[in-house]
Amino acid sequence: MAGVYGEINSRVDFNRVLGDASAIARGILSRAPQDATMQRIQKQLDAMARWSSNSRTPTEGERRSIDVGLVAAREFDGAKGELNELAEKLFSLNNYFEDWPTDEAAASATDDDFFEDDEES
């Protein structure tokens, strides 16, 4: 994983990772349809897809309403295999979606940029 957006360096990457995460979540839900955590994650992934479809920029309120990274940190800490892969994707997606950077900014973002922004707030 490289920097605050992990494997996401562009909108194309965002859409790919969003699709990958949704596929993993749907697979888990097919085996455990009553899993409330996975239902919540899938609902948020679906919202992210809807709010960013057709090159739409999600509103600030929409971007702030997503917390899949927090859910992953809380629910999948120490997870292995498929859940760990999903958690890594959710961290990247959450950070990217919240910031909604340009492709140029996403490609050059580092953890230091993220922490500098926090210090300025």
Label residue 112 by pLDDT band (50, 70, 90): low
pLDDT digits (tens, 9 = 90+) for 5-28: 999 999 999 999 999 999 999 999
Least Cα distance to 85 among 28, 15, 10 occurs for 28
Q: Say what the pTM is.
A: 0.86
Tokens of 40: 């919540």
Whether 103 maps to a domain, the answer reads yes
Distance CA 64, CA 84 (A): 24
Distance CA 114, CA 18 (A): 21
Label residue 117 by pLDDT band (50, 70, 90): low
Q: How many domains does the chain have?
A: 1
Using only C-alpha atoms, the chain has a radius of gyration, in whole angstroms, of 14
Whether 119 maps to a domain, the answer reads no
pLDDT digits (tens, 9 = 90+) for 35-85: 999 999 999 999 999 999 999 999 999 999 999 999 999 999 999 999 999
- Phi/psi at 51 (5° precision): -70, -15
User: Domain of 31?
Assistant: 11-114
